[in-house]
Structure 1
């Protein structure tokens, strides 16, 4: 198993001599395996390893059990553990996120706060997780980027187990006499990922026992293709940018796939809201026409002097009524203020 971890870190250049690593530790088999494997490399690579555990406040006694397990496990390894506690259901009510989205955001915030600017964050995503992510993306509707799976490296976040299957991870734990805890919600098919993990992939494995290796090849090839396409997009994007927006004639001369990429880059760069595939599709239908569309953030995509341009939507002045007394003073109404001054008939005659 150590060879697999070293293979992943070497292939993707994850670790350097003397690195400080903050590991996300849930107590499950994946994170226990990762933490143990990294600790085993501390001497040879002069690594400094510590762990972070996040109690989401969702599973009651089971969550407390996981927290205690992580504490005992880190003591046995002789490494520091930082525990964060949250009430995720309450946080969701404030933000409108799902528990899954909110929990993930808060976990990464905790990891980043602990790591600071100099440490690397190691998460226990593995080969199965990446394949599940690809299938989820396909079900939702995705392009090439969604076929790339979970990236081995993203900024200072590394995933040393990304080439290792869940079966190999559990075997490693068995061979090294490592206990771990099981999150009972992972066994419940209420979440989409659990359905894919517990129902879909077991069926696919009957068709192809090496299905996870097949998905691994797919994600690696897709990632290589995505890198090339992004490099071409960057070049062409810079060529068709104007002082106003995008040169519409040049944009029309590009293949449709490249045109979509450039539009996606343009909209994401200029609109601080989530841009979906629907927005890109609608924007593409505007190119070469006289049409305009409204995008998130009250933004208009329109045409000016041969360029596609973005502008802020101007609200229409709707009819209104104001009741006020006729006397000296200021009356406020929806679109401004009205100053009133009264005069007598004698004043007007003078």
Structure 2
């Protein structure tokens, strides 16, 4: 067993005060999630952790490929004595949902996957997902070119709500080395080498070019991430949160108080009330920067709709601003 890797997991659990917890591992059968399962299993007694796992077949690949993943997941959980929960979508079902909602397949898959995970956990339980350092870098690069806010450029948070990411600072190559040295089986998704999705294009085309021009760009991004985290903490320290009142499912706050905030503070409030609305059920979902642009205005007319979309409507009603749910799904 790789002690350096194990110590990284130990340090993560200690830093985040994770003891005596039920942890559900999001398990796909790929190298990242399989590594996460085995690493958490190796320290579960030390930290009094009760492990279970959840596998989702999105119905997007061939039945043969899905069967390979499922067999690996089932075998590992059986050997480790970990309870496995399974969700299977019909072939093409998620594709049809994405067309109906006018949303990407990736976004719909993520939403449905997290909905399933949250159905399996109690209030104080945790969901462990296997994002690693490579995923973090891809996310930061993607958000940079999409014009993300400074907070978005921080990338994937190491923990948020009931979601934990113990592998977030570990490179994928290290995880693959660990699995191979321990002779642990895992599946490889061949679609990761295809450039049909934006993240794959970033991983397979953009990053190799960046690395050729800037060989140490990974370290540079890590330093920038640290500076942005410090900046975010400073802004949060200096800013004062607005008071939001829940009235019949809508969130209400003072119009004048909102107007007195800087743009960064207003943006922070929008994300706070967004999380209140969806109860953190969609932890990796981010509102596009272009969607938030209208909140920059100096003032708003009475009954003016400030934001509308992504399942919500935000408007002025006299001396109040009202954030209300349009439906139970996120829409673009």
TM-score range, shorter chain: 0.7 to 0.9
Instruction: Name the residue aligned to 1:144.
Output: 150
Which SS does the other structure have where 2:45 is aligned?
helix
Q: Which runs of 5+ in 2 are unaligned?
A: 244-251, 279-285, 324-332
Which secondary structure state, in structure 2, belongs to the residue aligned with residue 44 of structure 1? coil
Match of 1:172 among 171, 178, 184: 178
- Pairing 1:106–2:108 present: no
Q: 1:217 aligns with which of 218, 223, 239?
A: 223
Quote the RMSD (CA, aligned, Å).
3.1
Alignment length, in residue pairs?
A: 294
* Alignment pair present for 1:4 and 2:8: yes
Question: How far apart, in 2, do the equivalents of 1:311 and 1:9 lie?
Answer: 39
Tell me how far 1:286 sits from its aligned partner.
3.2
SS in 2 for 1:83: strand
Q: Cα deviation per residue 1:295-342 (whole Å; 9 max; x = unaligned)? A: 23476559x7xx7x6489xxxxxxxxxxxxxxxxxxxxxxxxxxxxxx
Mapped contact 1:14–1:160 kept (Cα < 8 A): no
Q: Name whichever of 278-287 and 56-65 sits farther off.
A: 278-287
Distance 2:23 2:233 in 1: 27
Q: Which residue of 2 aligns with 1:186?
A: 192
2:298 to 282, 286, 294: 286
Asked if structure 1 preserves the Cα contact closer than 8 Å seen for 2:253 and 2:321, the reply is: no
Is 2:256 the counterpart of 1:246? Answer: yes
Q: Which residue of 2 aligns with 1:316?
A: none
Structure 1 residue 209, shift from structure 2 partner: 3.9
TM-score for both structures, normalised by structure 2:
0.78
**Structure 1 CA distance for aligned equivalents of residues 314 and 12 of structure 2:** 44
Distance in 2 separating the partners of 1:79 and 1:107: 20
Residue 54 (structure 2) aligns with = 52
Q: State the shift of 1:221 in Å.
A: 2.3
The question of 1:118 aligning with 2:124 is answered yes
Q: Which residue of 1 aligns with 2:31?
A: 29
Provide, for residues 251-277 of structure 1, a one-character-per-residue CA deviation record: whole Å limited to 9, x for no partner: 3xxxxxx61023335666789799754
Contact 1:204 1:211 (C-alpha < 8 Å) held by counterparts = yes
Partner of residue 321, structure 1: none
Instruction: Report the structure number with the largest CA radius of gyration.
Output: 1
Q: Compared with structure 1, are the counterparts of its residues 135 and 143 closer, same or farther at alpha carbon in structure 2 (3 Å cutoff)?
A: same
CA drift of 1:218 comes to 2.0
Q: What is the match of residue 103 of structure 2?
A: 97
**1:85 matched to which residue of 2?**
88
Contact in 2 for aligned 1:286/1:293 (Cα 8 Å) = no
| Match of residue 264, structure 1, among 260, 264, 267 | 267
Residues 222 and 63 of structure 1: CA distance in aligned 2, closer, same or farther (over 3 Å): same
Residue 67 of structure 1, aligned match among 70, 76, 79: 70
C-alpha distance in 1 between matches for 2:60 and 2:253: 51
In structure 1, stretches of 5+ residues that fail to align are 252-257, 313-350
Mapped to 2, the partners of 1:41 and 1:123 lie a distance apart of 16
